[in-house]
Amino acid sequence: MSTVVVLGSGVMGSALAVPLADNGHSVRLVGTHLDREIIEAIRRTRVHPGLGRELPPAVRAFALDELEAALEDADIVLSGVNSSGVRWAAERLAPLLRPGQLVVAIAKGVVADDDGSLHMLPEVLAEPVDEDLRARVGWAAIVGPSIAGEVAARRESCVVFCGDDQAVLDRLAAAFRTGWYHVWTSTDFVGCEISAAAKNSYALGIGFADGELERRGESDSPDRAHNYKAALFAQSTAEIRAWVALLGGQPETPLGLPGVGDLYVTSTGGRNVRVGHLIGTGLRFTEAAASLGNPTLEGAAAIKVFGTALGKLTERGVVDADDFPLMRHLYEVVALERPLAVPWSRFFGGESATATRGAVA
> By 3-state DSSP, what share of the chain in percent is helix, strand and coil, each rounded to 5?
50, 15, 35
CA angle 83, 262, 134 (to 5 degrees): 45
Distance CA 15, CA 349 (A): 41
Q: Which pLDDT score is estimated for 360?
A: 55
Distance CA 144, CA 157 (A): 9
Q: What residues contact residue 33 under an 8 Å CB cut-off, 6+ apart?
A: 64
> Cβ-count burial of 220 within 10 angstroms (0-12 exposed, 13-18 middle, 19+ buried)?
exposed
DSSP summary character for residue 155 = -
pLDDT tens, residue by residue, 16-42: 999 999 999 999 999 999 999 999 999
pLDDT tens, residue by residue, 80-117: 999 889 999 999 999 999 999 999 999 999 999 999 99
Residue type, 304: K
DSSP summary character for residue 147 = -
* CB-based contact 189:122 (threshold 8 Å): yes
* CB-based contact 7:67 (threshold 8 Å): yes
- DSSP bridge partners of 5: 28, 77
Residue type, 99: P
In 3-state terms, what secondary structure has residue 59? strand
Catalytic residue among 199, 229, 304, 312: 199
Helix ranges (DSSP H) in the chain:
11-15, 17-22, 36-45, 67-71, 86-93, 121-126, 131-134, 148-152, 166-176, 189-206, 208-215, 226-246, 262-267, 271-280, 285-291, 298-315, 325-334, 354-357
Q: Low-confidence residues of the chain, pLDDT below 50? A: 355-356
Q: Which pLDDT score is estimated for 87?
A: 95
Q: What residues contact residue 68 under an 8 Å CB cut-off, 6+ apart?
A: 96
- Looking from the CA of 328 toward its CB, the CA atoms found within 13 Å total 16
* CB-based contact 352:345 (threshold 8 Å): yes
β-pairing verdict for 59-62 and 47-48: unpaired
Q: Which pLDDT score is estimated for 269?
A: 84
Could you confirm whether 304 is annotated as catalytic? Answer: no
* CB-based contact 111:46 (threshold 8 Å): no
Distance CA 64, CA 70 (A): 10
Q: Which pLDDT score is estimated for 31?
A: 96
Distance CA 209, CA 207 (A): 5
Q: Which pLDDT score is estimated for 296?
A: 82
Distance CA 311, CA 328 (A): 9
How many residues does the structure list for the chain? 361
- Residue among 6, 169, 193 at smallest CA distance from 108: 193
C-beta neighbour count of 321 within 10 angstroms = 10
In 3-state terms, what secondary structure has residue 62? strand
Distance CA 27, CA 13 (A): 11
* CB-based contact 105:79 (threshold 8 Å): yes
Sign of CA dihedral 213, 214, 216, 222: positive
